[in-house]
Structure 1
């Protein structure tokens, strides 16, 4: 399997790339500048310069792009639109690293986490932007996309346990009543989905056991 990881130099992207390489997959880091990952192959391009030809060599493209500056949050939608357009009507899967804020907290799937009273104001703009990007993906029946949301507490330096719970649109708690996952375990779940999963045109979520 050939996998391309966009934004492979980022915190999440690096661990996803490492997980894929350690499973002996054919991995290419797609980065704007110097490749700082363990992947031996790279494409050095800005995300908006990527073409259909660049990406259709891969079975799966993992989009680990992230932007946290408030005046740049529109890039979540802009990058998704660009990637969707160049992968339109191709066989290449697009797996997007999403956020937890757009997960639903009710059985009716009407109330999203970022609209609940206790959701931190500081994270609401980012979560809203990621939610809009997911809304845009839902409109695309011409792209083989999967949007993967981490748990509410996404721990950059957390341990790699190797265990996780695969869930869907609803915020899911583990046996301890927690919604948390490490970046390392999230990377495992993402590569599992890339190699074994088939949640095409779906949003899934993962939480630690």
Structure 2
């Protein structure tokens, strides 16, 4: 496959790039500063692109088959998250690209109590606005005609190792027998590329966790 990855310079995005290359896909990393991108590979191309600019998105994805967005702004940059959602949809439409996988947020996953995670008592207040923006972005993607998939992570994405072993769910937060909700960044990248190859969640959301 010929894949474009936005947000490729972040922890999750770079892991996705490495996983896709591991599986012998051709990858284009669309980043703001190509000269600072650390990964090098014979099947990797690095291009300058701004995920907040629809014209820049269209230029980066034109002629490619699938797009992955791992764009994840920090707390306080919620407007950028929503702007990126609109920009990606417009840019992909302009370029005639139909397939998009989005790394989203966990806040709108349901917990055992039936509440959204971001509405539970223990959810950090400093991340509540960002979680709400992720939930809004999901509505933007799901309201489009694009062949999207929205992948919500568990509560914690941790540095670890690639095992290829994890559980898959839909709208409910996955927790282990000790009540923890986590997955390694490496295994999260496996889940992203699995979906790219298998397409089990077209026009849907899913989540993963141990």
TM over 0.5: yes
Deviation readout 1:22-81 (Å, 9 max, x if unpaired): 1110111111102322353122122214243531422210101111141x2111111011
Residue 57 of structure 2 contacts residue 87 of structure 2 at CA under 8 Å; is this kept in 1?
Answer: no
2:156 and 2:171 mapped to 1: Cα distance?
16
- Residue of structure 2 in register with 1:126 after alignment: 130
- For the Cα contact (< 8 Å) 1:18–1:38, is it kept in 2? no
Cross-structure match for 1:2: 2
What is aligned with 2:201? 199
Are 2:153 and 1:150 equivalent residues in the alignment? Answer: yes
Flag structure 2 segments of 5+ consecutive residues without an equivalent: none
Report if aligned partners of 2:103, 2:150 keep a CA contact under 8 Å in 1.
yes
Q: Matches of 1:170 and 1:56 in 2, distance apart?
A: 35
Number of the residue aligned with 1:84: 89
Which of 162, 180, 191 is residue 164 of structure 2 equivalent to? Answer: 162
3-state secondary structure, aligned to 1:127: helix
CA contact (8 A) 1:58 1:92 kept: no
Q: TM-score, normalised by structure 1?
A: 0.89
Q: Contact 1:6 / 1:30 at 8 angstroms: preserved in 2?
A: yes
8 Å CA contact 2:17, 2:27 repeated in 1: yes
What are the within-5 Å matches in structure 2 for residues 1-209 of structure 1? 1-33=1-33, 34=35, 35-39=37-41, 40-47=44-51, 48=53, 49-70=55-76, 72-88=77-93, 90-105=96-111, 111-140=115-144, 142-155=145-158, 157-208=159-210
Distance in 1 (CA, whole Å) between partners of 2:146 and 2:103 is 16
The separation in 1 between residues aligned to 2:135 and 2:179, in whole angstroms, is 24
Q: What is the distance in 2 between the residues matched to 1:176 and 1:17?
A: 32
Provide the rounded CA distance (Å) in 1 between the counterparts of 2:141 and 2:112. 22
Aligned residues: 203
Q: Gaps spanning 5+ residues in structure 1: where?
A: none
What's the RMSD between the two structures over aligned residues? 1.9
- In the alignment, the residues of structure 2 paired with residue 103 and residue 52 of structure 1 have an alpha-carbon distance, to the nearest angstrom, of 31
User: Following TM superposition, where does structure 1 have runs of at least 4 consecutive aligned residues deviating by more than 4 angstroms?
Assistant: none
